[in-house]
Structure 1
């Protein structure tokens, strides 16, 4: 094995108030190690904090601050806590040695120092520190790598959602701002409900973030609706409306197929599937596709129901002008306990100003195209 260059050698800080002791340790260590010296504990602390050495050889009895107190301060400082300290002392009492280990020292070398013993113990502690540093650095690298790859996956998820949602919007004659508005409405409602006891455990920050990401896929099933129905400029017949309603199950099936391909049910895809499948269900059971009622409707879909209807009301359609914000709020409030979850409506009524601000921030550009034709009746 080739010898280490001077800059690669481990650094040992020798702390002793007796010049002869300093000279002896420098002579012992200067070939295999870079040696720094200090004759006072306070000076040693300053040197160690500025450039932490690989190991400290510390005398116990020194004027002013003794070695025990210096070691305590080294171990209390994050910059030097991992630097091993070996005490050099003539104190041979058992309680002195015990105190040394109590304040954080890793070894105790008695004076007069035996050169072979000192070299062996110093080499042993430096090897342990090198192994510790390697594991610590490896752990930090792995943690950073996991965070980097997790972020990459999140970015891929986000891009996939936007791409799929935009694909659905290109066939739906609505602008992409509809999906942006509705996802922000969903998040605003979820945050308002987050700390209510009834929703404890179901609306933590992670769940809210996943619902926000999933919301743009609520109408992904419209990709499977024939153009003659989806793009019809007039009122749908009863038969055509039955076909239009299948966009909920088409969306569910597409997302369920994606889950099956992944071989697992992720929280992200679960929320997307729930929202696509059930956002047209009604609290009283009169909605579609399954006629679910009350708490049987997934919470994510109950939030989307309010977001979707509010946005439909305030948006211009080929069959109606845009409703004013106050009129949309009144209509939704009238649906409390029938169309919508009462608790969700109470949250909505408490933050209608936030809904209005979202609508203004993500308003459709002038002359945006109309949405699909209305249902019959």
Structure 2
């Protein structure tokens, strides 16, 4: 039986393709930055599913994660994703950028991207690459006490990594 794509799925597919195209064509995006953004969007989307985030919000998280590390995307379809992608540098303790949002003032979408971005960085961007999962989990767990991330979300992320590593 043929499964038809509904309007919502089609729009999200188009927006994801636009985000990937924008990322590929960004002047500041190297091949390694492109691959990093794809990995972060993948981790973010899987973590959102693990948290049982709605499909709509999960797709938004995926799109925002794709473009989280570029300064400008000239596509109006991605306004919401672009806004969220700018908030991944906020901190749970309110000392982040660009607005210094405190705690849950930062949308969950951006919090998920922030943790996925950190995870990708400690796994791939370190002198001891590849870092053992246990060591990486220890480092991300310690960060929850530093005020960088939502402590509950860090615990959820650790459970997610353990569950998906089996």
Query: Which structure's residues are more often helix, by fraction?
Result: 2
Alignment partner, residue 24 of structure 2: 166
Alignment partner, residue 44 of structure 2: 186
Superposed displacement of residue 302, structure 1: 0.5
| Secondary structure of 2:96 counterpart | coil
Structure 2: runs of 5 or more not aligned: none
> Are the counterparts in 2 of residues 161 and 217 from structure 1 also a CA contact under 8 Å?
yes
Superposed displacement of residue 299, structure 1: 1.2
Aligned length, in residue pairs = 161
Query: Which structure's residues are more often strand, by fraction?
Result: 1
**Is 1:215 the counterpart of 2:65 in the alignment?**
yes
Q: How does 1:366-377 map to 2 (within 5 A)?
A: none
Greater length-normalized contact order (CA 8 Å, ≥ 6 residues apart): 2
Superposed displacement of residue 169, structure 1: 8.0
TM-score (norm: length of structure 2):
0.79
Alignment partner, residue 288 of structure 1: 97
Change (3 A) 1:171 1:208: closer
Change (3 A) 1:169 1:211: farther
Superposed displacement of residue 305, structure 1: 0.6
Q: Select 1:273's aligned residue among 70, 77, 83.
A: 83
Q: Distance in 1 between matches of 2:8 and 2:18?
A: 15
**Is 1:333 the counterpart of 2:160 in the alignment?**
no
The superposition leaves residues 38-75 of structure 1 with CA deviations (integer Å, 9 ceiling, x where unpaired) of xxxxxxxxxxxxxxxxxxxxxxxxxxxxxxxxxxxxxx
TM-score (norm: length of structure 1):
0.38
Q: How does 1:217-232 map to 2 (within 5 A)?
A: 217-221=67-71
| Secondary structure of 1:285 counterpart | coil
Superposed displacement of residue 301, structure 1: 0.9
Q: Which is greater in Rg? A: 1
Change (3 A) 1:156 1:332: same
> Are the counterparts in 2 of residues 215 and 272 from structure 1 also a CA contact under 8 Å?
no
Q: Distance in 1 between matches of 2:161 and 2:118?
A: 14
Q: Select 1:205's aligned residue among 55, 62, 65.
A: 55
Alignment partner, residue 35 of structure 2: 177
Q: Distance in 2 between matches of 1:182 and 1:150?
A: 23
| Secondary structure of 1:279 counterpart | helix
**Is 1:315 the counterpart of 2:124 in the alignment?**
yes
Superposed displacement of residue 152, structure 1: 5.2
Q: Distance in 2 between matches of 1:321 and 1:152?
A: 42
Alignment partner, residue 64 of structure 1: none
| Secondary structure of 1:174 counterpart | helix
Alignment partner, residue 352 of structure 1: 161
